[in-house]
Amino acid sequence: MRWDALFTDMESQFEESDRLTLEAEINERTRAELVGIELTDRLRGVLGCSIGAQLLCGESFRGRLAHAGADAMVIEEDRQQVLVPYQAVARLVGLGRHALMEASPVRRAIGLAHSLRALARDRAVLTVTLGGVQGAARIEGVIDRVGKDYFDLAAVEPGGSRRSQHIHQVSTIPFTALAAIRSLRSQGL
């Protein structure tokens, strides 16, 4: 009987050692996989879900995540859409643990400048939030043109359209100063 107990005990110890080795290997592989997951992958994992975004300038947005691009995301609020560059985000709430990598290299390459050019083509009046250490500032206007790392915003009179008689100034805004762009929700974005 003593030998049976001894062999049973040794078998249990080997099984426990194998289980611990397997768990350690799984944990190590999980950590190695996490190194390759980007923020955009995490955001794509919750597309269509409600998230919150707090910006470095103090602004906060909450709504349905409609798009997660290379440099920015779009959050749909009740009546507006908000384009938020990742560089302006201090924290995100509601991402969960899911991640989804983008398979298309074309979609991975679509950045902030592409989104701004689409807004410029629409000629819609936008509210641009500039962020900095002193807080947020807002400018209303229409995007005139988009360069590699900046865009020109023609500030229009309230209720006015993008016509020369309605413009009171044109601002050149570096992408690095951009915290968010709000537009009225459209049916297709």
State pTM to two decimals: 0.76
What pLDDT is stored for residue 12 in this prediction? 80
Of residues 162 and 36, which shows the higher confidence score? 36
Instruction: Check residue 167 and give its pLDDT.
Output: 73
- How far CA 105 is from CA of 63, 73, 102, 147, 176, in Å, comes to 27, 17, 8, 22, 24
> What pLDDT does 189 receive?
43
Q: Which pLDDT score, from 0 to 100, does residue 109 have? A: 78
pLDDT band at 129 (very low <50, low <70, confident <90, very high): very high
Q: Which residues pair with 53 in a beta bridge?
A: 61, 92
* CB-count burial class (<10 Å; 0-12, 13-18, 19+) for 36: exposed
